[in-house]
Amino acid sequence: MIIKKQEELRETANLIAAKGKGLLAVDESTPTIGKRLAGINIENTEENRRAYRGMIFTAKGLGDFISGAILFEETLYQNHEDGESMVAKIDKLGIIPGIKVDKGLRPLAGGHEVETFCQGLEGLAERTAEYYERGARFAKWRAVLQITADGCPTDLAIKENAWGLARYARICQESGLVPIVEPEILMDGDHTIERTAEAQERILTEVYKACAENGVFLEGSLLKPSMTVSGADNANQASSEEVAKMTVRTMERSVPAAVPGIMFLSGGLTEEDASVYLNTMNSIERKSSRSLAFSYGRALQQSCLQAWQGHDIEAGQKALLARAQANSEACTGDYAAGSQPSSQDSLFEAGYKY
């Protein structure tokens, strides 16, 4: 069967991957956003989540740097305090609304004890059709893999997560949603950057094999990988130059050229590191001009949350725009390190759940 909305998918994917723009991930599940709000002593109520996200979606000029916003289902169907839908607010900024469609991670029976698979395929075709009706034009599915000294990622975990991503991608495309394919490798562990590169090549190769088997239309899809970095506990952390070189090499080796953009997650990097690493990637020589951009959650929101403190809309928006601009500049290799304010907070959390 042929995917009907191919041209629309290609167009949406190209708009998202437009030079100098990236994605804002604000699709934290209710427990996860609760942890963020707790960090500034704000209660995790629907009203407070609306206030926080409403502040973000009324930041004038955000669309100059951000092409799409990934929403949690609650936000897709929520109205702003002023009565207008959040989707309308996002549209007004010239940003494309997207939706997280996975239903979270579960232990992988038969795998290593830290390994998981991502659930949410059941009923996905019906849900994606409804999300499209509501205005979403792309989707996200976060599969997670881990590197350990005793054999992870196992072949089983790679196979299962790659297959889930490919099934999800194909189903989304049938509904006209561009799938963001996210096989995240957690930074947990003390492994070297070379070990990360080797595991990531295995994983991405399997993901694109599964995509081929499922007839995924690659031109209408995007990849959201973690950067190729050292394990968080490795005493010998790779420099930004090494990270950029190894990440570019890994992507060149394992991602088909038909995929129009690679939108990196921040994965626990600090706000400034996430921008500097991306900027370095876009400053070095590489084999293609394909867009290397961002799809950051923590690295776009930390200083915004801190500045907002539950009430200061102007300060929150200013901080958000500063990091959005920094990352936009990083997409073209034009970011001068430190030229925008950032939070120094460590954003790494072991075994991160979204």
Active site residue ranges = 182, 224
CB of 347 to ligand 13P, least distance (A): 7
Residue 206 or 271 having the CB closest to ligand 13P: 271
Max CA pair span of the chain: 53
Lookup: tokens for 266: 């921040």
Q: In the bound complex, which residue of the shown chain has the CB atom lying closest to ligand 13P?
A: 297
Cα distances (Å, whole numbers) of residue 144 to 105, 172, 192, 212: 8, 19, 19, 21
Which residues contact residue 188 at a Cβ distance below 8 angstroms, ignoring those fewer than 6 apart?
A: 146, 147, 231, 232, 233, 350, 351
CB 206 within 8 A of CB 162: yes
Give the H or E element holding residue 292: strand 291-296
Residue 74 or 84 having the CB closest to ligand 13P: 74
Residue 80 or 140 having the CB closest to ligand 13P: 140
CB of 138 to ligand 13P, least distance (A): 12
Going by their DSSP bridges, the two strands 105-107 and 116-118 should be labelled as antiparallel
CB of 277 to ligand 13P, least distance (A): 12
Q: Which of residues 167-196 bind ligand 13P (CB under 6 A)?
A: 182
Q: CB under 6 A: which stretch of 36-44, 163-171, 262-270, 307-315 binds ligand 13P?
A: 262-270
- Which residue from 21, 89, 142, 245 is in contact with ligand 13P, where contact means CB under 6 A? 142
CB of 160 to ligand 13P, least distance (A): 18
| Residue 261, beta-bridge partner list | 291
| 145 belongs to the binding site for ligand 13P (CB under 6 A) | no
Residue 5 or 301 having the CB closest to ligand 13P: 301
CB 236 within 8 A of CB 274: no
Q: Which of residues 271-300 bind ligand 13P (CB under 6 A)?
A: 295-299
For every residue of 149-174, which 3-state class applies, written as one string? CCCCCCHHHHHHHHHHHHHHHHHHHH
- Phi and psi, residue 197, nearest 5°: -60, -45
Which residues contact residue 72 at a Cβ distance below 8 angstroms, ignoring those fewer than 6 apart?
A: 26, 27, 28, 29, 30, 33, 99, 100
Binding mask 146-165 for ligand 13P (x = CB under 6 A): --------------------
CB of 354 to ligand 13P, least distance (A): 5
Binding-site size, ligand 13P (CB under 6 A): 12
- Contact residues toward ligand 13P (CB under 6 A) are 25, 142, 182, 265-267, 295-299, 354
